[in-house]
Amino acid sequence: MADKRSGVRVLVGTRKGAFVLTSDGKREKWDVSGPHFGGWEIYHVKGSPADPNRLYASQSSGWFGQVMQRSNDGGKTWEPVGNKFVYDGVPGTHQWYDGTPHPWEFKRVWHLEPSLTDPDTVYAGVEDAALFHSTDGGQTWQELAGLRAHGSGPRWQPGAGGMCLHTILLDPTNPARIFIAISAAGVFRTEDGGATWQPINRGLVSPQIPEPTAEVGHCVHRIAMHRSRPRVLFMQKHWDVMRSDDGGDSWREVSGNLPTDFGFVIDVHAHEPETIFVVPIKSDSEHFPPDGKLRVYRSRTGGNEWEALTNGLPQSDCYVNILRDAMAVDSLDSCGVYFGTTGGQVYASADAGDHWAPIVRDLPAVLSVEVQTLS
């Protein structure tokens, strides 16, 4: 039986614009709106949990840099807001690809995380890696400079996609606790609202760096949590799927029987905190599914034991990638799962991954997917 809530709104960022996909609770028929900001890279669009009509979008281009957009009507109309991201104080240096010091330079906003309680408060993860926030609906942005100032910043280095702060997790039980992740530095946690931070990467092993168990330097691709258990974190690392049961103080590998433990996305079922989803990618140089088969893997045991979900997904000649911000889950009674590909498809499952169907097939390369459950 269909959920009594009205439906879902899927927010898709692509290489050449944003798209808004809407459906009722059955999630069978879809309306497609867009492209919004056609021609611009839309790294991320996300709605406020406190006001679903309030959306924020990161719009950028190689020509004209970073623009920020805000909507107050669920994406029907947009207005540009502040785009001035200036690092606090003297920016300092991080490691460049060749190991030499390189000055921090703002390039773009990768990820937006609206406050759980205030529509006008939103966090922005940027490249070169830093965390900014706005408390006036995006009009002005201030760096939470304690992250870069805690000491390890000069040892951070860019991953292949740039040195990006790509994940921001807000603890629903403690507004002062925030987790962020940076490629390639690792995961960091604050317990005081962003004033001070500590790296939380114990248990990560990365043979690609000189000291595989170093405090920082790990290429974490994504972390995820379930709202009901903010001490339990899941991670898709450059290689390895990891889990922490102590708020990031320690991590253990849960890759188990995955065909490859490389990948970008990871997410958690809306109602089952031990059910998690990944999309294995063949390798760090071969950014496509193994054997040309697009398979979402689901674990109902919080890792280690994984099952392939293939119904409705291409099982031959599929060589797309699924980027780190391109998976999301809705919170309807039957949990919906969504992901987008670099081939421009957005797939949806209305039954937690058992069956899949494309919502759209031919968008520009998908950079991000978010979903809002509308009531």
Partner 1 sequence: MIRVVLPAHLRILARVDGEVQLEIAGPVTQRSVLDALEARCPTLGGTLRDYVTQQRRPFVRFFACEQDLSHESPDAPLPDAVAAGVEPFLVVGAIAGG
What residues numbered 312-341 form the site for partner 1, per CB under 8 A?
none
Residue 66 CB, nearest approach to partner 1 (Å): 7
State which residue, 61 or 304, has the beta carbon closest to partner 1: 61
The Cα 20–Cα 374 span in angstroms is 13
Report the residue from 6, 26, 31, 65 that binds partner 1 according to the rule CB under 8 A. Answer: 65
Q: Closest by alpha carbon to 26, among 351, 268, 369, 360?
A: 351
User: Are residues 297 and 277 in contact, defined by beta-carbon separation less than 8 angstroms?
Assistant: yes
CB count in 10 Å sphere of residue 369: 30
State which residue, 105 or 333, has the beta carbon closest to partner 1: 105
Task: Tell me: cis bond preceding 24? Omega within 30 of 0 counts.
Answer: no
Burial class (CB in 10 A: 0-12, 13-18, 19+), 5: middle
Q: Closest by alpha carbon to 224, among 274, 183, 262?
A: 274
Angle 133-138-142 from CA coordinates, rounded to 5°: 35
Question: Pattern 162-191, binding to partner 1, x per CB under 8 A?
Answer: ------------------------------
Question: Using the rule CB under 8 A, is 33 a contact of partner 1?
Answer: no
Residue 35 CB, nearest approach to partner 1 (Å): 12
Question: Using the rule CB under 8 A, is 61 a contact of partner 1?
Answer: yes
Residue 80 CB, nearest approach to partner 1 (Å): 4
User: Are residues 363 and 344 in contact, defined by beta-carbon separation less than 8 angstroms?
Assistant: yes
**Which alpha helices (H) appear in 207-251, and where do they start and end?**
none
Contacting range for partner 1; rule: CB under 8 A; set: 62-70, 164-172, 184-192, 254-262: 62-70
State which residue, 64 or 210, has the beta carbon closest to partner 1: 64
User: Are residues 265 and 273 in contact, defined by beta-carbon separation less than 8 angstroms?
Assistant: no
Question: Using the rule CB under 8 A, is 196 a contact of partner 1?
Answer: no
Residue 111 CB, nearest approach to partner 1 (Å): 19
The Cα 81–Cα 353 span in angstroms is 37
State which residue, 62 or 207, has the beta carbon closest to partner 1: 62
Residue 103 CB, nearest approach to partner 1 (Å): 11
The Cα 278–Cα 84 span in angstroms is 35
Bridge partners, residue 79, by sequence: 70
State which residue, 83 or 198, has the beta carbon closest to partner 1: 83
Strand positions, DSSP E, 15-120: 17-24, 31-36, 41-47, 55-61, 65-71, 79-81, 93-95, 101-103, 108-114
State which residue, 101 or 103, has the beta carbon closest to partner 1: 103
Contacting range for partner 1; rule: CB under 8 A; set: 57-65, 260-268, 279-287, 325-333: 57-65
- The helix (H) or strand (E) run that includes residue 267 is strand 262-268
Question: Using the rule CB under 8 A, is 64 a contact of partner 1?
Answer: yes
Question: Using the rule CB under 8 A, is 40 a contact of partner 1?
Answer: yes
In the chain, what is the straight-line distance between the N-terminal and C-terminal CA atoms, in Å? Answer: 16
Residue 83 CB, nearest approach to partner 1 (Å): 5
Both tokens of residue 270? 């809306």
Residue 224 CB, nearest approach to partner 1 (Å): 32
Q: Residue count at the site for partner 1 (CB under 8 A)?
A: 14
Question: Using the rule CB under 8 A, is 154 a contact of partner 1?
Answer: no
Residue 288 CB, nearest approach to partner 1 (Å): 24
The Cα 223–Cα 248 span in angstroms is 10
What residues numbered 74-103 form the site for partner 1, per CB under 8 A?
80, 83-86
Report the residue from 62, 99, 207, 210 that binds partner 1 according to the rule CB under 8 A. Answer: 62
- Residues at the contact surface with partner 1, assessed by CB under 8 A: 39-40, 61-67, 80, 83-86
